[in-house]
Amino acid sequence: MDKVALTIYLIVLVLSPLLFGAVHTYAYTLMALGILTGSLLLVIKSIKKDIKTGAYQVHLPNTSLNLLWVILLIFLFFQVIPLPESLMKLLSPETLVIREKSIPASIAIDSTKKMIGWVSLSPYTYPVRISIIRWTVYGLFFLGLTQLLNSRKRIELTIFLILITCCFEALYGLAQAFPESGYIWWFKKTVGEREVTGTYQNRNHFAGLMEMCLLLAVSYSAAIAERNRKRAVSSHKTRFRVRLSRFLSGEQRFNKRTLILFAGIVMGIGLIFSASRGGMIATAAAMLFMGILFMARGGHRRKGITLLLFFLIISIYALHIGVEYPLGRFKSFEISFENRTRLAQKTLEMYEDYRLTGVGMGNFRYAYPRYQPAEVRKFVRHAHNDWVQLLAEAGIMGFFLFITGISYYLYRTFKLWGKRGDPFAVSLGIAPLPVMTAVAIHSYSDFNLHIPSNFLMFTAIIAIGYSALHLESNHGREKTLYRSNVIPLKYRGIVALLLVLGLMGWTGIWTIRHFVAEAYCNTVHNPTLNRDQNPPLEEIRKAIRWDRWNGEYRFKKARELMRIRDVNIVNRSQEPGARSQEIQMEITKALEEAVKLNPFEARYHMELGWGYAYIWRLMDYDKKWLAAADISIDRAAYFAGDKSPDMHVHLGNYWVIRSKTIDPTNPEWEAAWAKITWHYKKAKSLTRGKRLRDSIMRFVWEYYPDIEFIKKVLPDDQQPLPLQYLK
């Protein structure tokens, strides 16, 4: 049974990088289901019968990373469970503000109704649920792999598969870059053709894979070098004829060390020609740290020569190929560093608002537009600094738990490493530490651990190091000796087993539900399959039935209903009365549900505001729906930030139309004009060019055909448009 589980684990480990880094739904679903299947087999195998008592027992692995996995898993669940309002005021007051804005405006205007009640720490729980699924999968993979790598043979098999995979990645990337074919499998590269990315779409993520595998190759080379040297010493009296026979047969020339050295050189060249500055810096620092660790152990100082040899050969080959372009990217290092520092500073502003418990794991991409600086126009999915992003998403509490779990792991690892004398355990058992160092440094400027295949590879290397440290010789055979919690399958044992199986079952069910929902209606970014971004209404409804927590499904449903409504009106296939109003009410309901699920999205609030304003046939329109529209538009302005000039143009347009429903002698009319002015000025400050200014003035002219009004609303140092042009 364990052979089947190991096979599944290794297949997943190899396929994940090859499938574009497993960033797309089909790839990470395959990864998750494969790991869950292998883990289920191991759980069944862990139920054993005690020979002495005849009672059944469950054996749960006890590793140095159990603490980190369990406490962060509990913290993630803590972010999504509903908590009373009184406790929320202490833990996260800003979340209460956000939750108030998630209440549909049509309900919020009625002060007699209860506003909040019990809410979760994360304003949008869907990303946290996805984080729980992935964290569970990664944890089960580590625990399972450490149990499966119970011999030197299995450890070395896993290392060889990893190095072969990474070597292929580097060779494939080099082959695709230098002929300038510009393709990754069937998909046209979106980055520079000269940049080596392997099967990844981003050079930094490819560089993250290379740095981890290169460090693993160095550690493994050092481990088998010591073994080969001892063999050479012990067999110096071997007869000359036998030694000559081995040499001629190629055993001496094509040994493991030669293959590892070749793989390391190829990966090093791939790393350099990825042109990832963070990857090169992180790898160099990790190599230095590894050398210091070897120097700290007597009898292992010669292994520093291995590091020097890797550096030397990689540099010679890189110079021969030409490193002008990769090194040339360091000329813009200061500018790039300033841009990423600006992102990090704005992320820290988010942290200040959610200081204690964070905004919710995975919520950065949704909450950040409100903080995004005006000079950054593109959509930002990550902070390009995993440290500050973790601080913003998990707060002080989550960050402290993470540091505590990592510190415990490092303490246990260093303590055991100091006791080991076997060269294989010393050299390979320390591999996770320089790998963690490289990832920690690289995470200061990129987000490698958000890429599923890289996190899986990171986990696999830690499991390899952990297994190597616990490798002991027993009756001539090397086996890993682990500590495990043996619990009788009674009371506590049954509860523990049910908790594990329940967690695995919940993870598997929602992994499948998420996949099926995405198959009907795509919301996860996936350019490689060219998915339809606007599926039919029935498919969107099916997606909602499979996964009701994703707010984007509701928004897409509303947009599709808008299209159907507009087509009906244009084609006059329906009476413009009852049927259009029925569709509009369905649109409004879908948008209200989207806002309740994800209150961070300014476009949800804006469309909801326009939707309320569209319901002009109802009796209570002025008192209820128009007031609700004003609230939703104000909420959209709250979340819009400085990201999108078009958003502010739409909001300004709303207030232009709205001002026509207000008596000019009413103070509310002046308030509406103040909002018009603010939004239009904000839009103009976020973009350059005359086209936006002209479109704004033409729109205002339709409702206020007076050039003096336009000048008042749009003060501009430039010469105003001529009156005849506006006509």
**In a domain? residue 239:** yes
Whether residue 303 is predicted with pLDDT greater than 80 in this model: the reply is: no
Residue 673 CB: number of other CB atoms within 10 A?
Answer: 18
Give yes or no for a contact between 101 and 638, defined as CB atoms under 8 angstroms apart.
yes
Arithmetic mean of pLDDT over the chain = 83
Of the candidates 145, 159, 158, which has an alpha carbon nearest to the alpha carbon of residue 2?
Answer: 145
Whether residue 236 is predicted with pLDDT greater than 60 in this model: the reply is: no
Q: How large is the average pLDDT for residues 25-47?
A: 95
Whether residue 268 is predicted with pLDDT greater than 50 in this model: the reply is: yes
**In a domain? residue 401:** yes
- Residue 516 pairs in a beta bridge with none
Whether residue 354 is predicted with pLDDT greater than 50 in this model: the reply is: yes
Torsion sign across C-alpha atoms 286, 261, 265, 197: negative
State residue 723's pLDDT score.
Answer: 37
Of the candidates 691, 693, 688, 682, which has an alpha carbon nearest to the alpha carbon of residue 716?
Answer: 693
**In a domain? residue 533:** no
Least confident of 139-148, 327-336, 363-372, 461-470: 327-336
Question: What is d(CA 424, CA 227) in angstroms, rounded to the nearest whole number?
Answer: 8
Whether residue 60 is predicted with pLDDT greater than 70 in this model: the reply is: yes
Residue at token pair 């609030």: 605
State residue 707's pLDDT score.
Answer: 60
Burial of 296 (0-12, 13-18, 19+ CB in 10 A): exposed
Q: Which of 492, 519, 543 represents a domain boundary (last residue)?
A: 492
3-state per-residue secondary structure call for 579-620 = HHHHHHHHHHHHHHHHHHHCCCCHHHHHHHHHHHHHCCCCCC
Cβ partners under 8 Å of residue 157, min gap 6: 10
Question: What is d(CA 657, CA 699) in angstroms, rounded to the nearest whole number?
Answer: 10
Q: Which of 475, 492, 509 represents a domain boundary (last residue)?
A: 492
Give the residue numbers spanning the domain of 262: 2-81+120-492
Of the candidates 679, 631, 676, 624, which has an alpha carbon nearest to the alpha carbon of residue 655?
Answer: 676
Q: Is 718 helix (H, G, I), strand (E, B) or coil?
A: coil
Domain count, the chain: 2
Interval 334-352: pLDDT, tens: 666 677 788 888 899 999 9
Of these ranges, 242-251, 523-532, 600-609, the one predicted with the greatest mean pLDDT is 600-609
Least confident of 77-91, 339-353, 465-479, 652-666: 465-479
**In a domain? residue 628:** no
Q: Which of 438, 461, 492 represents a domain boundary (last residue)?
A: 492
Of the candidates 259, 169, 223, which has an alpha carbon nearest to the alpha carbon of residue 457?
Answer: 169
Q: What are phi and psi of 471, to 5 degrees?
A: -80, 125
Least confident of 152-156, 160-164, 173-177, 493-497: 173-177
**In a domain? residue 281:** yes
Question: What is d(CA 501, CA 42) in angstroms, rounded to the nearest whole number?
Answer: 11
State residue 38's pLDDT score.
Answer: 96
State residue 90's pLDDT score.
Answer: 92
Q: Residue 247: pLDDT band by 50, 70, 90 thresholds?
A: very low
Of the candidates 198, 196, 191, which has an alpha carbon nearest to the alpha carbon of residue 168?
Answer: 198
DSSP at 22: G
Higher pLDDT, 616 or 364: 364
Cβ partners under 8 Å of residue 284, min gap 6: none
Which two tokens mark 512? 């499948």
Q: Residue 237: pLDDT band by 50, 70, 90 thresholds?
A: very low
State residue 344's pLDDT score.
Answer: 86
Whether residue 596 is predicted with pLDDT greater than 50 in this model: the reply is: yes
State residue 298's pLDDT score.
Answer: 66
Question: What is d(CA 312, CA 305) in angstroms, rounded to the nearest whole number?
Answer: 10
Burial of 691 (0-12, 13-18, 19+ CB in 10 A): exposed
Whether residue 669 is predicted with pLDDT greater than 90 in this model: the reply is: no
Q: Residue 691: pLDDT band by 50, 70, 90 thresholds?
A: confident
Q: Residue 8: pLDDT band by 50, 70, 90 thresholds?
A: very high
Whether residue 184 is predicted with pLDDT greater than 90 in this model: the reply is: no
State residue 606's pLDDT score.
Answer: 95
State residue 295's pLDDT score.
Answer: 76
State residue 82's pLDDT score.
Answer: 93
Whether residue 406 is predicted with pLDDT greater than 90 in this model: the reply is: yes
- What angle separates helix 492-520 from helix 126-148, to the nearest 10 degrees? 120
Give yes or no for a contact between 38 and 364, defined as CB atoms under 8 angstroms apart.
no
Of the candidates 602, 581, 718, 712, which has an alpha carbon nearest to the alpha carbon of residue 650?
Answer: 602
Whether residue 110 is predicted with pLDDT greater than 90 in this model: the reply is: no
Which two tokens mark 247? 């040499």
Q: Residue 253: pLDDT band by 50, 70, 90 thresholds?
A: very low
Whether residue 232 is predicted with pLDDT greater than 50 in this model: the reply is: no
| Percentage above 90 pLDDT, the chain | 45
Q: Residue 594: pLDDT band by 50, 70, 90 thresholds?
A: very high
Q: Residue 59: pLDDT band by 50, 70, 90 thresholds?
A: confident
**In a domain? residue 675:** yes
State residue 674's pLDDT score.
Answer: 87
Give yes or no for a contact between 10 and 16, defined as CB atoms under 8 angstroms apart.
no
DSSP at 623: I
Burial of 110 (0-12, 13-18, 19+ CB in 10 A): exposed
Whether residue 278 is predicted with pLDDT greater than 80 in this model: the reply is: yes
Interval 611-658: pLDDT, tens: 998 886 666 777 788 889 999 999 999 999 887 888 999 999 999 999
Q: How large is the average pLDDT for residues 505-525?
A: 95
Give yes or no for a contact between 208 and 277, defined as CB atoms under 8 angstroms apart.
no
Positions of E strands within 513-582: none
Burial of 332 (0-12, 13-18, 19+ CB in 10 A): exposed
Question: What is d(CA 539, CA 560) in angstroms, rounded to the nearest whole number?
Answer: 11
Higher pLDDT, 326 or 255: 255
**In a domain? residue 504:** no
Higher pLDDT, 102 or 324: 102
Interval 517-540: pLDDT, tens: 999 999 998 888 888 888 999 999
Give yes or no for a contact between 59 and 500, defined as CB atoms under 8 angstroms apart.
no
Q: Residue 466: pLDDT band by 50, 70, 90 thresholds?
A: very high
Whether residue 242 is predicted with pLDDT greater than 60 in this model: the reply is: no
**In a domain? residue 631:** no
Q: How large is the average pLDDT for residues 67-81?
A: 96
Whether residue 206 is predicted with pLDDT greater than 60 in this model: the reply is: yes
Give yes or no for a contact between 700 and 686, defined as CB atoms under 8 angstroms apart.
no
Of the candidates 155, 186, 265, 140, which has an alpha carbon nearest to the alpha carbon of residue 20?
Answer: 186
Whether residue 301 is predicted with pLDDT greater than 70 in this model: the reply is: no
Question: What is d(CA 674, CA 603) in angstroms, rounded to the nearest whole number?
Answer: 21
